[in-house]
Structures are given as structure tokens and as C-alpha cells.
Structure 1
Amino acid sequence: MKSVELICNGCVRPITNVPFYKCSQHNCDFVLHEWCTRLPSQIQNYHDHPEHTLVLLPKIPRDSKGVLIGVFTCSNCLLFCNGFAYGCRQCKYFVNINCGFIPEVITHETHPNHILLRFKASSPYTNICKGCWGRIKGAGFHCATCDFYLHTSCALLLPTTIRHKYDKHALSLRYYPAENHSGEYFCEICEDEFGPNLWFYHCSMCASSMHTACAPVKLQCDQLSTYFRIKSAIFGYFNVKFGERYKIEEHPHPVTFVQGIKDDEQCNFCHKELQYHMIFKCFRCKVASHFWCWRNAVVIHDA
């Protein structure tokens, strides 16, 4: 049987054994952690947008064409998200609710002797993240006395221990090469080699390793590509909940918001591959297109 996992519509994190609320309609998968029902309605003086109050939004507003946007790029971590947001409609500035409460100062195991201060990158070509070795384009953390920088997502979103369906043991996040691990490192999921200077997950008992982006913590997200590893050490859809259905004008059936797989082949609009991308798919007539292609072509409503 296929595993079923409840994903909170607010913070887009798995529902485990904590209290939560679920829609009473049997065909609706809308669920919320109890703490997500108690979020403050506003945030004043937010780090990068202090001039306006950020308001809690269950959905990003519709655009001028009446299209339900839903998915947005967080202005802080730059990851896609379709959960709750804090936003300024006037400036079209939106952050996911997790980034809405990021502290100004943190400590991190990889740099234990100094605190790390939050900063906004002035140039995308200046600061290199020590976690994924990618360039920091949005906000991040840095040590004021050392040349040490981390993406917000690398610093705060990578769990120290995970379990993956392809490994029977827990994998731990490694910041440095694993002890007694000889030879080249290669990812057990994508089978690509990678240098031990990158953070990675490792199982000491099996001597197996995997990219942090190849080890998504949600069951519904287990397809990946090199694109996401280049973009971030975090899986590209870490903050996205799939499975919601929509009604598309000029299409007779509801379509489902899912992640594309190899069998989906090409987009009906742009004729490019759908694998790994966010797509709308009709499971009745097998029509599928990129999320942004269908969104720009027609009007979309909740199903």
C-alpha cells in the first residue's frame, strides 16, 4: 500500500504525533498543526521590509487575470512555497510563515566559537555559503569576524537526523568527511559523485551517503534533479504541498497539482519535459502541463 502522509497547509511540514485539525469533509486533505491555528495576524518591523506591516495570508492574492497564484517564491529563503504567508500586498513582498520568525542571531555547530548574524546579500556574487557552496542571493547568516556565510535554508532547515525509505537506518547530517570513509563519495539516490566539502547525509552502519537535496523529509517529494542541488542544499520543493485539485476553464475535469515524473513526458503548451517540475495533471484524460504554462494560459479556480 502507498504511504499516506499528512502535510500541514500552514507551515507545509508533516503532521506527526502533535495535535492538529483536519477538515471534516472526507475528500478534503486540509490540515493544520494546532500551533499554526494560533499564528499572529500581523508582523511589525520585519527585517527586510520594516516600512510596512506584513499580514498573515492563507493564500497569496489572485493576480490581475483572476488566477489563483497559491505558489510563490519566499523573499527570504527564495524557495517555492504554497503554504501560509506573511505578506505586503502593496509591495508584493511575501515570506513563508517559517521565515516570518527568523531570529537576528543564531549559533551553529559548524562555527561554534562565534555567533552568526542575519544579513541581506548586497550582491549575489560576493558571499559563498559554507553548506552548499552556492552563492547567497537573498538573506543569510554570517560571522562578523570570519569569512563564514550560510544560506538561511542551510542554517535552519536541514534536520540533523532523517530517515529515508531507501535506508533502514537513520542518517545524520555531516558537515565534514565521514570517519573511516575511503574513496570517492557518491549519492545513493542520484548516483552522482560529490566532494566531501559539501554537507551531506551519511549512515555509518551502511557507509552510505546522499546529497541533502536528495533526501527530502516528506514522502510526497521523492523525485529530484541536479537542478535542485545547484539551486540549494535544500530540496527545491521543501515548502510545497502537492495534491490540491483545481478547476481549469475550458477543461472538462479537475486537475491536480503534482510533481512531474518521467511518464508525464512533455508539456501541452511549451512541449518541454515535465519531469521534476510543478505541474497540473488531469488523471482522467492524461493531460499535463507546467504549473506556470497553464496558469498563464487559462483561469484557475479551487475545485
Structure 2
Amino acid sequence: MEVTALKLPTHEHPLYPSTRFLIVSCEGCCVRGRIYGGYRCNESDCYNKGDDGVWFHKECGESPSEINHPSHPEHPLTFSTEIDLEDCRLCGGLTTSGYCCAICDFVIDLACVQKPLPPLAIEHPMFHEHSLVRTNKYAFCKICKNNIEEGYAYECLTCGHVNFHLDCVNQSREVNHSSHSNHILEFFKSKSLPENAEKTCILCGIESQHVLYHCSKCNFSICIYCKRNPPPLTVQHTKTHKHTLSLLARRVSFTCNVCGMQGDRSPYSCIQCSFLVHRDCIDLPRVININRHDHRISLTDHIGRRGNLKCGVCHQSVNQYCGGYTCSICPNFVVHSSCPTTKRVWDGVELEGIPAEVVIPPFEVVGVNLIKHFSHKKHILRLESDGTTRDEKTRCEACVSPVYSDPIYRCEQCDFILHETCANLPMKKRLPFHNMQFKLYAPDMDSYKAFKCYACKTMFSGFSSTELFRSCGACQRGRMLPTKLACGDCDDFALDFRCFNLPRVVKHKEDEPPLSLCYGEDPNGKYWCDICEGETNPKDWFYTCPDSGFTLHVQCVLGDFSFLMPRRITEYPKYRCKFEVVPNNHCSRPFCAGCQSRCIGPFFLKIYNPKIIYICSKGCFRTFTEFWEKGLSETVFSGGRTLHV
């Protein structure tokens, strides 16, 4: 059944009805809580604005364009999402969307519109001995211990600024609740219950630190929020299950038929089918893209036998007898049903009913072993796969690495070269550190530019695509990594992207054998770098030659400029400067204007400032560009010397 999108005044994009259970902030009234039966936005831009995208309560999504409200009977109020951060006249909270008067300076938010007008004072509150007055102050509620940011706050002037939520202070001490109709639930402070009493909400699983409703006969407890907003006793969603699902409000261990993962409380069930499901697994998206796979994946109610039953997101086992996401192109790729929405790997767009995107190839075949590549349209490229060994100077325009004996495409009219693998890079690709799709970009070969990679922070001039604290297992640096690759089986091993992309084999000098990347040796051994003559930590990765036995630091072999095309004038747009990348293969090493030492790396930057200066590392380049921006580069960097300002 096709779901119809609705264009409602509350949002700029079409909204779709949803029966998912989520704890999110409503975009309309800004109240955070569990939404069921609301509306969602299917635009990826909106999904990336928040933790779970843009959602609306059903009432907020269906808010009319114009209303008459008893708080302002003089004029009608018009709905707007472009209010300049005004105070709501009823609750005093700041809002950017709600109802405003076109004549008067009067604004009320959606939450206040949907509730009856609160009294200015409460003479006999249920949970306090003194009368209370309404206030606009932000404070902590004495009952639930949460910050009063939304709704109405009430203050006791007798007790000295004791504050309450309106809903908290007016709660009943005993309630008949739909989730536990056998007995009455009583209001308790958590610390007053026996030690073995249930203090975790049976319905939502949140431990109640302060107050809850409890049945002493059944040891049944629910939190204040679930008391006010209970989940529905039945759910009808045929895409999840063909029969009506009923809430089983109790502690019970079960395996969810949709995601295959364990649950410990309050599933929805179909008795006649022995079907059990987490409420969060109801109404999952059917067809989606995730940043861990190149193709669409589709939700199925039965994975079945497959070659690899490891989840492509969390890498844990997948139950073949339960549901999950599968790929129609890659039969061995499976994903837990719950992982795309809980692990932040989905772009937030439901693709069911939307045609698949047409794949655009990166080149056009124009003959046998002849192509016209999108990055070099003016000439034809010919495939060379005869295994010829080439020198260090022959480099790929895409990855800026030496090609050696790899198959390549070479231009017949100029020196443009691509690895065969680089020539086949897709025009669009999803990368693991972002939910949006990236487009392959090739720089203009008439005006070469350098950029800094978001993932590995390396300066490069090839093709490009437009937080956890953990030490990298290769370089041992501990940092806030925007991206990392961690081992699913080892809790203490991760790699940053720079170390992950280190070449396995490099050449330091053309007349010497290649060097291999070493992944760590006996920590008691002593190693010395043959370039800088400093000690090499055997726990760090380094390069070594098996024949000669000498070792070299990774930084000494590669330096900071190995991914910039040598012998080429390159522009760095961020700092509006140009430089030439020069191999450090002369008899005398140049003197770095930044660190006041001889450059030891394989490449250095030659900058015309207008005098020629040399830079050996990213740190020295950063110092230079800081002075460049201040207009002091000529006076500070003069004659190859750095003068302190």
C-alpha cells in the first residue's frame, strides 16, 4: 500500500504518517518525548539536523493555518515557522514556531495551543501543602527532579522558591492504568520502595531515580511519563505483521522476530502466530541506503540461509530465522533490522516506491583498451597492462601514488596517468563517516589545487569526494577522531584514517629495494631510523627492508606532502597561496623557514613569497599561513629565517 505524503503548514517538506515508537523532540511543539502515530519528514537534509530526523506529534503536524484562541480573543492567530525567537505569552518559553498575531506582539507555541489555559495559581495541589503560583522561571521540579524547560512551572513562595511541573504537582496518588488494569497503581518515591522492588519502568525500560507508580502485589512499575502517555494496547501495522499486535506489559525475555535481538520487557505480540516484536521495531523503513554498502537494502521478515550471517553494520551474528535487511545484488550482505536506525548509518530517506538512481560510469569506452574519462575529456586514455616497471616519478593523477608495474591508463597526447583501479572509481559513493552520498571530484588540470582531507587531515591534490577518544593502534596518538576504524572483536584497537591508508610497500630511494610496512615487533627490541637517526618505537608501525634490516619512521619515509603531485605549481585555496612540491633528493637538504632545520622528509614545499622559502611539514606550513593571513609573511619569513614578532 502506497503511503501518501501530506503537505502541512507545519513544515516546508511533505510529511508522511508513521506508526514508529521514538523518543524524540517534536519539531512543532519542541516537547521531547515518545512519539507514536505522528508524522516524519523524508528529506535527508532534515534527517541530519537532529538525532533521528524531523518528527511531529499527530496533533502538531495537523495544526491548522489559523486559529482563534481564548488567550487572545481580539484577533485570529496565524501559524508561522519563522518567528524570531520570541517568548510564548503563556509559558514564557522561547520559540521559533507557533501562532502569532499579525496586529499585536503576541506569540504562543504549539504546546500551549493544544493544552487548556493553565490557572494562575493552584490553591490545593495534590503533592504540596501550600498554594502555588505560575512562574516563567527555569528550575528543577521537586517531584521528578527534571529541569522545567517545557510547559508550565509553578512556584511555592512559602517554601522559598520550590518549583514543580504542573503535571507533576497535580498527579493522582492512585491511578487505574491501561497497562495494568488488574490493580491500582500507587505513587511512590523510588527510595521508599524495598530494595528488591522493581524500579525500572516495565513499559519503556528507563530506571526511575526519583518517583514512579508501583503495584506492590505484582511488583509492577511504570515511570511518570508512561503513566501520562501510555503506549497503545493494540497496534495495526500490516507491513510489520498481518494481524493486530497486542501489548504484553510485563517483564518477559524474548527474541524479536523483526530484528532477531533479545528483549526483556513489554513486547507487542500476536498469540496465534507466536510473533513477538520490540515496539521500536514496528514500522521500520522498508527500502534504504546506508553508508556501509554501495547498494540499496530492503527489509525482509525472514533472512534465511546465507553465506555470511554477520551484520554489515555491527558485525555481530544475525539470526537467519528472523527479519533483517538484505541486498538483492550482494546475496551475502545482511544487516540487523535495528542497526540502520540506531547506529546512525542511514541517511533518513525511505526509498520504497522511489526508482533506483541511475549509475553513471566514470568513463566512456571508445575502442579496444581506449576510454574517455570524465576527468580528462580532451584526450583519449589507453590501457597499459604489460607489467612494465616504472620509476617513482610516474604517478597517478587520482591517488597521487607511484604506479610502478600496475596496469594504468595513459594519455596518448600528454603525461596524464590513472591507475586502472582509480579510473574505475564510481562517480558517487557512500562513505562510512557520513550519511550523505559523496560525488567524485577531479581538479581542473589547468589550475591545480590542494585540499585537506576531512577524514585523515592529509594535504592532497588528487581526486576527492565532496567522537570517540581512542589511541590509534599504529601511531599511538590519542585524539578526538572525527572518523576511525575500530576492531569489532578487540575493544582496545582502532586506526585513524591516515594510518589505515598507509601504503604497504614504498620506495625510499630508486636504487634501493622497496620497504615494507611493519605492524610492530618485540617491544623489548631497539630500532633506529636511518633517516633521522632517532629511536623507532617498536609498538608503532614503521617501514623496514627485509634484506638490509634497516628501519625508518613512517613520517620520515612519507612526510606530510606525499599526496601532493611533485614538480607542479599547486594552489591552496584556503590560504590563497601557491607552491611547488619538490622531491628532497638533492645533495644538500634545504633549510626550512618554519622550524629552522634541514628538511629530512621526501618532499618539501617551495614557496615564492616573493622570495623563495622552503617548508618541510604541515606544522611549519600552518605557521607560514597564519602569518600569510596577517600580511606578515614577507617580513617574518625572509631569507629562509623565521623572526619572532
Q: Normalized against structure 1, the TM-score is what? A: 0.57
For the residues of structure 1 that align with 2:568 and 2:593, how far apart are their CA atoms? Answer: 21
Give the counterpart of 1:83 among 462, 467, 480.
462
CA distance in 1, matches of 2:482, 2:448: 22
Map 1:90-129 to 2 at 5 A: 122-123=467-468, 126-129=469-472
Amino acid aligned to 1:263: P
The 2-side partners of 1:164 and 1:259 are apart by 15
Letter in 2 for 1:257: E
1:151 corresponds to which of 496, 500, 503: 496
Matching residue within 399, 403, 409 for 1:11? 399
Pairing of 1:284-295 with structure 2 (within 5 A): 287-288=612-613, 293=625
Counterpart for residue 244 of structure 1: 568
Aligned residue type for 2:500: A
State the partner residue of 1:111.
none
**2:581: which partner in 1?**
258
Residues 78 and 23 (structure 1), Cα distance of their counterparts in 2 relative to 1, 3 Å cut: farther
Partner AA of 2:590 in structure 1:
D
Q: Is 1:50 the counterpart of 2:435 in the alignment?
A: yes
Can you list the C-alpha shifts for 1:172-202, whole angstroms capped at 9, x where unaligned? Answer: 33223269x96x3110111011221112223
Secondary structure of the 1:191 match is coil
What is the one-letter code of the residue matched to 1:128? S
Question: Is the deviation greater in 5-14 or in 202-211?
Answer: 202-211
State the distance in 1 between where 2:434 and 2:442 align: 20
CA-to-aligned-CA distance 1:142-178 (integer Å, 9 cap, x gap) = 124421111223234230x444328844443322326
Distance 1:243 1:295 in 2: 23
- Corresponding letter in the other structure for 1:258: V
Residues 166 and 86 of structure 1: is their aligned pair in 2 closer, same or farther, counting only changes over 3 Å? Answer: closer
CA distance in 1, matches of 2:511, 2:521: 19
Q: CA RMSD in A?
A: 3.9
2 CA distance for matches of 1:34 and 1:295? Answer: 40
Q: CA deviation at 1:279?
A: 3.5
In 1, distance between residues paired with 2:435 and 2:459?
A: 23
- Structure 2 CA distance, aligned partners of 1:165 and 1:72? 27
Deviations 1:233-273 (A, max 9, x none): xx4223221222369xxxxxxx8622486536548xxx988
Shift of 1:281: 4.6
**Counterpart amino acid of 1:139?**
T
Q: What residue ranges of structure 1 are gaps of 5+ in the alignment?
A: 61-67, 88-121, 217-234, 248-254, 298-303
Rounded Cα–Cα distance in structure 1 between residues aligned with 2:483 and 2:566:
26
1:132 alignment counterpart: 475
Distance in 1 (CA, whole Å) between partners of 2:428 and 2:419 is 19
Contact kept, 8 Å, 1:78 with 1:138, in 2: the verdict is no
SS in structure 1 of the partner of residue 500 of structure 2: helix
Note if contact 2:592-2:614 (Cα within 8 Å) is conserved in structure 1.
no
Contact kept, 8 Å, 1:178 with 1:202, in 2: the verdict is no
The verdict on how the C-alpha distance between 1:238 and 1:256 changes in structure 2, with shifts beyond 3 A counting, is: closer
**CA spacing shift, 1:238–1:37, aligned 2, 3 Å:** same
Counterpart residue number, 2:213: none
Structure 2: which 5+ runs fail to align?
1-390, 572-577, 616-620, 632-645
Going from structure 1 to structure 2, the CA distance change for 1:199 and 1:272 (only over 3 Å counts) comes to closer
Assess if the C-alpha contact under 8 Å between 2:400 and 2:563 holds in 1.
yes
2:516 counterpart (149, 172, 188): 172
Count of residues paired in the alignment? 214
1:215 partner SS: helix
Indicate whether 1:187 and 2:529 are aligned. yes
Larger RCO (alpha carbons 8 Å, 6+ apart): 1
- Tell me if 1:71 matches 2:453: no
Q: How does 1:17-56 map to 2 (within 5 A)?
A: 17=405, 18-22=407-411, 24-25=413-414, 29-43=415-429, 45-51=430-436, 53-56=437-440
CA distance in 2, matches of 1:190, 1:42: 41
Q: Which amino acid aligns with 1:48?
A: F
Residues 34-66 of structure 1 show CA distances to partners (whole Å, capped at 9, x for unaligned) of 3433332222x4333324x32221128xxxxxx
CA contact (8 A) 2:409 2:417 kept: yes
Code of the aligned partner of 1:71: A
Amino acid in structure 2 at the alignment position of 1:192: G
Aligned counterpart, 1:219: none
